[in-house]
Amino acid sequence: MEEKIIRPEPADYREWPEEELWERFAELAVRIVPADKGAFERCGRRWSHVAKPLGSLGVLEEDVQKLAAISGTEPVRIGKKALVVFCADNGVVEEGVTQTGQEVTAVVTANLTRGESCSCLMAGVAGADVFPVDIGVACGLGPLGSRFPLIDRKIRKGCANFTKEPAMTRREALAAVLTGMDMARALKEEGYDILAAGEMGIGNTTASSAVTAALLSADPAETTGRGAGLSSEGLSRKIDAVRRGLLLHRPDPCDGMGILRAVGGLDLAGLCGLCLGGAAYRIPVVLDGFISAAAAAAATALESHVPEYLLASHVSAEPAGERLLSFLGLKPAIRAGLCLGEGTGALALFPLLDMALEVYNRMRTFEEIQIEEYRPL
């Protein structure tokens, strides 16, 4: 019999006035401070004593050090794991930038609640619970499942087409960000130790390309890829849509919230909030691919210490995947050409972290096996 998942109840910011939303954001933002450098270094020393070649687990060793810095203690454990999937639609699909329509967002969102999506199947293997959040699905969802109950925080039925008007209002963007931040709080209070960042939303690679181009002051042709398999003609339309949106709104590269409002999406804003919440409540957030990295970059524009609380699972196959991780100062553990989304790449990191922690916590030291330690040459 499947264990019943306790659904967290994040705060509902949908009816809050904008002024009160900003006040709440300011209250939470002051909680974001640098991670514990001392714990990071003590963890590194522990790795150097483990009876194996120095640095031989590569990025995974650095990831464990980051987990120590986030928790503030070098004994590192990961117990309960969660995948948070923000589901929302993007009005820019009107520009012919996707292969499918918004009805697919609704279908996959419903599948998430039944445990029937790709991410749910992978979460079962990785030992993670799934929390789908409707933050802006446009179409009706139909019958929902009970395996992973839907968290309803729908701010609006999809974003506007950013080639014609801002994707959302500043109040809507702020409400979505705060929803993501409070998901981190609610899950931390339910005893979760690590979060995977996931999303579902047709058209969100277009929004992510626009957000990335704005943040990095890059040419849209350098940040825009084929997403879920666009043809060359479709890719040209997508690049053109991103370029027109940026020319219309001319967002400030330093204004993360303004960029999300102008050319982002509600799912990206929720992910941005999850990254901020991870930093505010000291719970690590594992990024998936391009979309979550774009959201994390927006979060970093808002609070510079955010990357200290993030782990990169893999480098996306999208053109700007590597560049975004470089902007965030993150190293991916996986290079496998992944581009599925839904948080699947982030889930793939969980078993690797479990194995690395098994070595970190249980492998004997050089002193215990009476062998001279390796020394850096």
- Residues 363-372: pLDDT tens digits? 998 989 888 8
- Residues 316-331: pLDDT tens digits? 988 899 999 999 999 9
Q: How confident is the model at residue 339 (pLDDT cuts 50, 70, 90)?
A: confident
Quote the pLDDT of residue 317. Answer: 84
- Torsions phi, psi of 141, nearest 5? -90, -25
Determine the average pLDDT of the residues in 298-315: 98
Determine the average pLDDT of the residues in 262-267: 98
Residues 126, 10, 151, 18, Cα dihedral to 10°: -130
Quote the pLDDT of residue 377. Answer: 66
Of 307, 314, 305, give the one whose Cα is nearest residue 332: 314
Considering the domain boundaries, does residue 4 fall inside one? no
Show the tokens assigned to 69. 């810095």
Radius of gyration of the chain (CA): 20
- Which secondary structure element, helix H or strand E, spans residue 119, and what is its range? helix 118-126
pTM of the model: 0.96
Phi-psi region of 217 (alpha: psi -120 to 50; beta: other; left: phi over 0): left
Contact 279, 177 (CB under 8 A): no
Considering the domain boundaries, does residue 326 fall inside one? yes
- Residues 155-184: pLDDT tens digits? 999 999 999 999 999 999 999 999 999 999
Better-scored residue on pLDDT, 146 or 376: 146
Considering the domain boundaries, does residue 317 fall inside one? yes
Quote the pLDDT of residue 2. Answer: 58
- Residues 52-72: pLDDT tens digits? 999 999 999 999 999 999 999
Considering the domain boundaries, does residue 28 fall inside one? no
Quote the pLDDT of residue 227. Answer: 74
Considering the domain boundaries, does residue 107 fall inside one? yes
Tell me, what amino acid is at 150?
L
Quote the pLDDT of residue 146. Answer: 93
Quote the pLDDT of residue 94. Answer: 95
pLDDT at residue 1 tops 50: no
Whether 342 is catalytic is yes
pLDDT at residue 15 tops 70: yes
Considering the domain boundaries, does residue 71 fall inside one? no
The DSSP secondary structure of 235-274, one letter per residue, reads HHHHHHHHHHHHHHH---TT-HHHHHHHH--HHHHHHHHH
Considering the domain boundaries, does residue 54 fall inside one? no
Whole-angstrom distance between the N-terminal and C-terminal Cα of the chain? 54
pLDDT at residue 354 tops 80: yes
How distant, in Å, are the alpha carbons of 30, 131, 134, 176, 286 from that of 7?
Answer: 28, 8, 13, 19, 20
Task: Tell me how many domains the chain contains.
Answer: 1
Considering the domain boundaries, does residue 70 fall inside one? no
> Domain span at residue 96?
78-353
How distant, in Å, are the alpha carbons of 55, 127, 351, 356, 360 from that of 51?
Answer: 11, 28, 22, 13, 10
- Residues 278-294: pLDDT tens digits? 999 999 999 999 999 99
Quote the pLDDT of residue 84. Answer: 98
Cα–chain center distance at 277: 11
Q: Which residues contact 362 (CB under 8 A, 6 or more apart)?
A: none
Which class for 221: exposed (0-12), middle (13-18), buried (19 or more C-beta within 10 A)? Answer: middle
- Residues 245-257: pLDDT tens digits? 999 999 999 999 9
Catalytic residue among 165, 233, 342, 373: 342
For the chain, helix (H) and strand (E) counts, in that order, are 14, 6
> Residue 137's domain is classified under what CATH number?
3.40.50.10210
Strand boundaries in the chain, DSSP class E: 80-88, 128-136, 151-152, 192-200, 285-287, 310-312
